[in-house]
Chains A and B, each alone.
Chain A
Amino acid sequence: MKQQSPMPRRAFIKGLASSAGVLLAGCSQTEPPTYGHVLRMGDLLTYKAHRLLLPAHSLAREYDYADISSVPAIGTTNPADPAKSSFSQEHGPVYERLLATRFEDWRLVVEGSVTRPRAFSLDELKRMASRTQITRHTCEEGWSAIAQWTGVPLRTVLEAVGVRTSARFVQYYAYDGWRDGIDMLDALHPQTILAYGMNGRDLPISHGAPLRLRVEKQLGYKSMKFLRRIVVTDHFDDHGRAGLIQNGWSWYAGI
């Protein structure tokens, strides 16, 4: 019998296509996706080369107190200001209320691929073992500044909530609507801290009060200000339209 139904072949091709899709999705889940874009492929090459060639636990240079310099505050300087283009309709008014009570009701939610998700108050974070470091902020625009940052290592917070062994990335969300993420290697780095102090004082509003991230081995834009939520994930999250990649920026900024 020579007769052959076209259906099995079509189903076969469909099956091939969908398994290819699963494979592609599988790839993009554990590393930054390229979307077939040549610039994103270059970014991925740089990221992979850094992870392959550079020692994981090397520390960014720490400077002396006398090296502390003036620091411009750029980007969002106050998430409660509706005049700013970065104003978030959803989170801006919340930030304004938190500001009115000097962040007494502010909480950092830490959840996702963890065994004990919880929300930390500012006082709770300040009671945890702190780290103070004087480091250089390297802005992607080309300028640099040195400041002293005090905070709790992200690693300490992640250990407190119990990160699952399947976790690969840490995503963070801010009151100006920005969201981003880092891989577990940067998240667990000793200099990656959740900073509540700058130059010996509470973090000023323009520099991200009450809490900002410091990722010292990447460009300044990864050190997100005005944090509200941290989510540990097993897979890569590009954060869609609110994320860096779809806005044309490299996710990895260790350059």
Chain B
Amino acid sequence: MNAGGHRRWVRICHWLVAASFLTLAVSGFFILMAHPRLYLGHVGNDLTPALLTLPISNNYRPGELQRSVVFTEIPGTPISAERNFAIFNQNGWGRSLHFLAAWILVLVGALYAAIGLVGGHIRRDLMPRELTRRALLQDLKDHLLPRVGSASPGLPYGLLQKLAYVTVMFIALPLMVLTGLTMSPAVTAAYPILLDLFGGYQTARTIHFFGFAALVLFLLVHLAMVVATGFGRQLRTMTWGN
């Protein structure tokens, strides 16, 4: 291993996380297609107003629901309506695959954090200790001009690079796990604090979606930087370690 290479356990964790993240993103998108409406609070369905409706499937058709039951005679009270048409729904395999990938991501993530903390990888290579406003502006300028193409692959990481990795690892991914767990009826029965922490099942679902969008954005920037700094060289460093 040369100075710039990645350690073997880092490379293994990277590709396991990459595979599970891609699986989570694709299966999660299919799950969202079954009900592409986002809400705030505990309740949200075709009979209540949405915060956001995503044009990713034809499943938003409340106008076609048959309003058949009024729960009380008082005007403006909750209603029920029948849905007598089939919708797009691939959640059977979608959700099972989503959770299988989530198990892998969580277990690999925990292993990575444990080795990284004990072995000093996180403190040594990822903590942005050189962070000052001046260094941040300089690194931003280098990226925008762009001058990072000449940087060497692997270690040491640049300042913005460190900030991006640390944000994904210690903020975005844990937030995805927690908002995901908040959508579980069994987990929230055991830990109702999750519902209060995020302000309800539907709010957690909405945060989960924006977390997905942010992580996909990170992936696109990550891939763009890999290409900009020498795709083959970077791929080799993360695969064979040199």
Contact = CB atoms under 8 A, between A and B. Distances in A.
A72 B95 contact: no
Contact of A70 (B79, B82, B183): B79
Interface string B188-203: 1110100100000110
Interface string B59-85: 100000100110110000011111110
Contacts of A140: 34, 91, 95
Nearest to B43: A69
B89 interface: yes
Interface string A235-255: 000000000000111100011
B32 A136 contact: no
B80 A54 contact: no
B80 to A, nearest CB: 5
A142 B195 CA distance: 16
B103 A45 contact: yes
Contact of B184 (A61, A85, A255): A255
Contacts of B187: 50, 54, 254-255
A58 B187 CA distance: 9
B155 interface: no
Given A42-B103, A59-B189, A255-B184, A201 B95 contact: no
Given A43-B99, A144-B42, A204-B80, A71 B47 contact: yes
Given A60-B189, A142-B31, A218-B185, A206 B96 contact: no
A72 B42 contact: no
- Interface band, chain B: 35 or more
B185 A219 contact: yes
B97 interface: yes
A43 to B, nearest CB: 6
Interface string B141-157: 00000000000000000
Given A54-B186, A206-B68, A142 B35 contact: yes
Nearest to A84: B84
A250 B186 CA distance: 15
B158 interface: no
Interface string A55-92: 10011110100011111111001000000110000000
B42 A67 contact: yes
Nearest to A215: B185
Interface string B94-134: 01110110010000000000000000000000000000000
Interface in A85-131: 85
B186 A50 contact: yes
Interface of B: 31-32, 34-35, 37, 42-48, 59, 65, 68-69, 71-72, 78-84, 86-87, 89, 91-93, 95-97, 99-100, 103, 183-190, 192, 195, 201-202, 205
15 contacts: A43-B96, A45-B100, A58-B189, A69-B78, A70-B47, A70-B48, A77-B82, A142-B32, A142-B205, A143-B37, A247-B92, A248-B93, A255-B183, A255-B184, A255-B186
